[in-house]
Amino acid sequence: MNENHRMDTGTLILALIAGLSVNGSFSALFSSLIPFSVFPLIALALSVYCLHQRYLNHSMPEGMPLLSASCFLLGLLLYSAIVRAEYPAIGSNFLPSLLCVALVLWIGSRVKSMKRQAMPVESGQE
């Protein structure tokens, strides 16, 4: 159970990093206010590669693709909120921040419910 939980948490973190780096790469390439950096492109390539390897080598439990997609969306919105706080000329960060909080609460409740569903199955096997 512990190894499987680590695998699932790692997938969610990689999806979050992929979302952050997609928005970072887009901003670095196409926004004149954000200085160019090659690091979001490198992070994007590595996170997508690692996610692809996890997909090929391990099966995802039920509900994990939706959680991974929501973590990816959280990364997109989180980077947008951070950049808008740093550069107020772009616009307000109220809506991305509000959506980030809602997504974090939803992801937390889904992860907690997935843990609860996994516990009785394992205790019954012992």
Which pLDDT does position 123 carry in this prediction?
55
pTM comes to: 0.86
Q: Please list the ranges in the chain whose pLDDT falls under 50.
A: none
**31 vs 17: CA distance, rounded Å:** 20
Which pLDDT does position 124 carry in this prediction?
54
**123 vs 117: CA distance, rounded Å:** 11
Which pLDDT does position 108 carry in this prediction?
93
Which pLDDT does position 78 carry in this prediction?
95
Which pLDDT does position 24 carry in this prediction?
93
Residue-number span of the structural domain to which 79 is assigned: 2-125
Q: Count of domains in the chain?
A: 1
Which pLDDT does position 62 carry in this prediction?
85
Taken in order 54, 55, 59, 61, the sign of the CA dihedral is positive
